Amino acid sequence: MTVHSTIATPIEQAQRPSVWSRIWQNDAPGYLFLLPWFIGFFGLTIGPMITSFYLSFTNFDLLQAPQWVGASNYVRMFTADPKFSASMRVTLFFVIFSVPLKLAFALAVAMLLNRGIKGLPMYRALFYLPSLLGASVAIAILWRQIFAGDGLVNKLLALFGIIGPSWISNPNYSLWTLIILSIWQFGSPMIIFLAGLRQIPQDMYEAASLDGASKWRQFVKITLPLLTPVVFFNAIIQTIEAFKSFTPAFIISGGTGNPINSTLFYTLYLYQEAFGFFRMGYASALAWVLLALVGLFTAFSFLTSKYWVHYDD
Amino acid sequence: MTINAPAKLTVVTEGMPSPLRRRTTSIIVHVLLIGASILMLYPLLWLLAASFRPENEIFTSASIWPSSWSLDAYFRGWNGLRTGFGTFYLNSFIISGLSVIGNVLACSMAAFAFARLNFKYKNFWFAMMLMTLMLPYQVTLIPQYVLFRQLGWVNTFLPLVVPKFLAADGFFIFLMVQFFRGLPKELDEAAQMDGCSPWRIYWRIIIPLSMPVLATAAIFTFIWTWDDFFGPLIYLGEMRQYTVMLGLRTFTDSTGESDYGGLFAMSALSLVPIFLFFLFFQRLLIEGIATTGMKR
């Protein structure tokens, strides 16, 4: 009996450890490793999100306590704020033109590079360089000069006898200079396209060309369908990035969004409201509208994706 | 059968271009690509040239070769503001350096938990982490500002650096999770049999085997922190704390209108650290983008 129990005890303990020691053994290490992330997640993301949602229903100038004003920030935005609608128009225009053009460029160049040509690493690196540098203030400064009245573009146009306008101070063109800056950075989606193109089995093309399919038909019937997951991924990432774009518009317009609000990006307007006029409540409401917009776009893309994104192999 | 055969033969020869045609296409493609490369790099080369050419030539020349070379603009620009660019570079290096340490440490710890450990609600937290990737920073911006202001951190580097030690950029967690998952599971199991704690597995096995992904994360963190304009813009108010990007912006506001040479010289110089990373680690950067589909 006593002999039995001394043998049984350790087995019993191993089989039925206390709840706490099991948690300590199994779950604690994971949570400990995640501790920094948890502090950040709750302290810098979830907490601020809740606060920001609350602030969007208040008037708050940082100095006095927030004053509850109900939905009036949102009402004012959609009914009595021409700068809000201007900034929304500018941002949507920017997203709608810059993202498809950038992706089309990225895909076209990736197709050219994917023919097994010599010097691929060199071309790929050269085309990627603008993507890496493009976010810098220095590039925005350079862009401002290139498209100025006496800038590089007009100097080149003058060689052909064309007198160009001052692109950045003309409201008809100023936003296009920013779209061109965005397209100029097509390198990173191009690299992702290249990686996707390499996944397509070469014998599919061989079979298709034996059947007499033209290059264009091969592109439409083989390349594009098999590449749709990559197109989808690139489109989502680039669109969210485009919505968040701030630095180029800030630098090129000197923080104003001019001429006549033609480069007043949504993020720039939000910055002006928050840190120029210290209307923190209104700026929070602007931020939530942006989140709703990005969220709607993402949800719409995911919901429609099953109709055009080709996932089975 | 016999009627069909010649028809098929012609299809085959049409499908396969002759060597001559193939060479012609190849030449056309190279011409196109070289043309595109020149067009893409022209603005950058022009900026470099503008920084070395005499001031009066900047607005008259579209060439990328200065008629005479001088470093004057660099000296003028370096001391063009009340506080010299030396201070700005020091600040930028401190902020970027600390951010690299914080990001690599905190993100690799979180990624290790997600990729190699099992714990309750892991999938839920992982999904939460992925959600934060899609979140526009504007939604947390104002409460974060209020928080850092109450902590007395405005006009210090802390709001720019501390979030990195809290793994605030989920992108790098995701990047590392992908890599850690690829390492053989047997390593952990064998180490666990030998009585290794999770901490030792992380530090002695996973980290040493993950140098490529850690280097990729470190380089991207450095570049993005170096380039960051918005964070310093709202948190750093005194010129002696400015980063290089803020210095450039101030330059455009104050002296930029008169001293374009200095402005271009400082702009070109601010790209040099990024360009050096590109030069020496481009393979790592391009592979990092290709495998995980990074945003830039």
**Pairwise CA distance, residues B107 & A41, whole Å:** 12
> Which chain A residue is nearest to residue B254, measuring alpha carbons?
A254
This complex has an ipTM of 0.83
Cβ pairs bridging A and B (under 8 Å): 261
**Residue B277 · residue B222 · CB < 8 Å:** yes
User: Mean pLDDT across the stretch B200-211?
Assistant: 89
Specify the pLDDT at position B17: 59
Contact between chains at B296 and A136 (C-beta distance less than 8 A): no
Q: Kindly list the residues from chain B whose CB atom is less than 8 angstroms away from the CB atom of residue A130.
A: 40, 44
Q: What is the pLDDT of residues A51-69, one digit of tens each?
A: 999 999 998 988 888 889 8
Q: Kindly list the residues from chain A whose CB atom is less than 8 angstroms away from the CB atom of residue B199.
A: 29
User: Which of B41, B142, B245 is opposite residue A274, by nearest beta carbon?
Assistant: B142
User: Which of A26, A39, A159 is opposite residue B118, by nearest beta carbon?
Assistant: A26
Contact between chains at B29 and A115 (C-beta distance less than 8 A): yes
- Locate the domains of chain B by residue range: 4-70, 81-292
> Which chain B residue is nearest to residue A147, measuring alpha carbons?
B43
> CB contact, 8 Å: B184 with chain A?
no
**Of A93-102, A209-218, B66-75, B181-190, the least confident:** B66-75
Q: What is the pLDDT of residues B88-110, one digit of tens each?
A: 999 999 999 999 999 999 999 99
Q: Which of A102-116, A160-174, B57-71 has the largest mean confidence?
A: A102-116
Q: What is the DSSP string of A132-193?
A: HHTTSHHHHHHHHHHTSTTSHHHHHHHHTT-----GGGSTTTHHHHHHHHHHHTTHHHHHHH
Q: Kindly list the residues from chain B whose CB atom is less than 8 angstroms away from the CB atom of residue A202.
A: none
**To 10 degrees, what angle do helices B19-52 and B260-292 make?**
140
Q: Kindly list the residues from chain B whose CB atom is less than 8 angstroms away from the CB atom of residue A283.
A: 142
Computed over its alpha carbons, how large is the radius of gyration of chain A? 27
Residue A66 neighbours by CB distance under 10 Å: 18
Specify the pLDDT at position A22: 66
Specify the pLDDT at position A179: 92
Per-residue confidence band for A211, with pLDDT thresholds at 50, 70 and 90: confident
Please, what is the average pLDDT of chain A? 84
Higher pLDDT, B191 or B65: B191
> Which chain B residue is nearest to residue A205, measuring alpha carbons?
B15
Q: Kindly list the residues from chain B whose CB atom is less than 8 angstroms away from the CB atom of residue A227.
A: none
Per-residue confidence band for B54, with pLDDT thresholds at 50, 70 and 90: confident
Contact between chains at B109 and A37 (C-beta distance less than 8 A): yes
- pLDDT at residue B183 above 80? yes
What is the CATH code of the structural domain delimited by B81-292?
Answer: 1.10.3720.10
Cα B60 to its chain centre, rounded Å, is 34
- Locate the domains of chain A by residue range: 76-308
- pLDDT at residue B5 above 70? no
Q: Nearest CA of chain B to the CA of A213: how many Å? A: 8
- Closest Cα partner for A255 from B224, B238, B234? B234
Any residues with CB less than 8 A from the CB of B21 and at least 6 apart, and which?
none
Kindly state the DSSP code that residue B214 receives in the 8-state scheme.
H
**Of A5-9, A249-253, B136-140, the least confident:** A5-9
User: Which of A33, A112, A124 is opposite residue B112, by nearest beta carbon?
Assistant: A33
- pLDDT at residue A7 above 50? no
Q: Nearest CA of chain B to the CA of A1: how many Å? A: 33
Q: Nearest CA of chain A to the CA of B260: how many Å? A: 9
Q: Kindly list the residues from chain A whose CB atom is less than 8 angstroms away from the CB atom of residue B289.
A: 128, 188, 191-192
Q: Kindly list the residues from chain A whose CB atom is less than 8 angstroms away from the CB atom of residue B29.
A: 112, 115, 117
Q: Nearest CA of chain B to the CA of A141: how many Å? A: 8
Specify the pLDDT at position A23: 64
Specify the pLDDT at position B6: 42
> Which chain B residue is nearest to residue A248, measuring alpha carbons?
B229
Q: What is the pLDDT of residues A147-171, one digit of tens each?
A: 887 777 778 887 887 777 778 777 7
CATH architecture for the domain at A76-308: Orthogonal Bundle (1.10)
Please, what is the average pLDDT of chain B? 84
